[in-house]
């Protein structure tokens, strides 16, 4: 995807870019690139691409992602090769949430509580996707 800002700007909090916006933009990109797919197929494919990116962020190993999602390793590798910029942006969005938690508590938050808050944020987002 192309943005008017960088992943670094998102990470530094100079630009607020949410998971909802990221997913919307990802769906638009996939719709453009795969015009022959139906709306429902695009939605499913968007969820799959998002999951591959998300689990790569978590596990950092395509083989583990392949096992977790029960997807062919070649599909996972192909998606990752085509989406390095999207992976970088997703990482920045998640890490910026982590940093926002610190800022909002003036630094008075333990790392474990911050991880729990960030995880709750992700679970809330994922529940909308039925992940």
User: 86 lies in a domain?
Assistant: yes
Q: Nearest to residue 22, comparing CAs of 73, 109, 85?
A: 85
In the chain, the number of structural domains is: 1
- H or E segment to which residue 5 belongs: none
Residue 6 pLDDT greater than 70, yes or no:
yes
- HSE-up of residue 29 (Cα within 13 Å, Cβ side): 17
Q: Tens of pLDDT along 56-97?
A: 999 889 999 999 999 999 999 999 999 999 999 999 999 998
pLDDT of amino acid 17: 96
> Which pLDDT score, from 0 to 100, does residue 126 have?
83
Distance, CA of 1 to CA of 91 (rounded, Å): 14
Residue 113 lies in a domain: yes
**What DSSP designation does 53 have?**
H
Is the pLDDT at 3 greater than 70? The verdict is yes
Asked if residue 30 is part of any domain, the answer here is: yes
Q: Token pair for residue 13?
A: 């909090």
Q: Name the pLDDT band for 131 (thresholds 50, 70, 90).
A: low
> What gap in Å lies between CA 71 and CA 48, rounded to an integer?
9
Q: Check whether 130 has a pLDDT greater than 80.
A: no
pLDDT above 90: residue 109: no
User: Is 48 contained in some domain?
Assistant: yes
Rounded CA gap, 103 and 108, in Å? Answer: 9
CA dist 49 to 7, 13, 75, 110, 111, Å?
18, 25, 10, 32, 29
Question: Does residue 78 lie within any of the structural domains?
Answer: yes
**What is the per-residue pLDDT across 11-46, written as a single tens digit (0 to 9) for each?**
999 999 999 999 999 999 999 999 999 999 999 999
Domain of 56 in residue numbering reads as 7-129
Query: Taking all residues of the chain, what is their mean pLDDT, rounded to a whole number?
Result: 92
Using CB atoms within 10 Å of the CB of residue 19, give its burial: 0 to 12 exposed, 13 to 18 middle, 19+ buried. buried
Residue 1 inside a domain? The answer is no
């Amino acid at each position: 995807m192309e943005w008017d800002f960088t992943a670094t700007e998102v990470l530094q909090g100079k630009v607020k870019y949410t998971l909802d916006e990221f997913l919307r933009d990802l769906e638009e990109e996939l719709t453009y690139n795969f015009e022959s797919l139906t709306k429902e197929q695009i939605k499913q494919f968007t969820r799959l691409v998002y999951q591959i990116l998300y689990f790569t962020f978590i596990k950092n190993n395509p083989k583990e992602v392949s096992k977790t999602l029960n997807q062919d390793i070649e599909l996972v590798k192909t998606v990752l090769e085509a989406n390095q910029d999207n992976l970088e942006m997703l990482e920045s969005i998640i890490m910026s949430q982590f940093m926002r938690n610190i800022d909002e508590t003036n630094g008075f938050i333990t790392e474990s509580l911050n991880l729990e808050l960030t995880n709750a944020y992700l679970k809330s987002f994922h529940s909308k996707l039925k992940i």
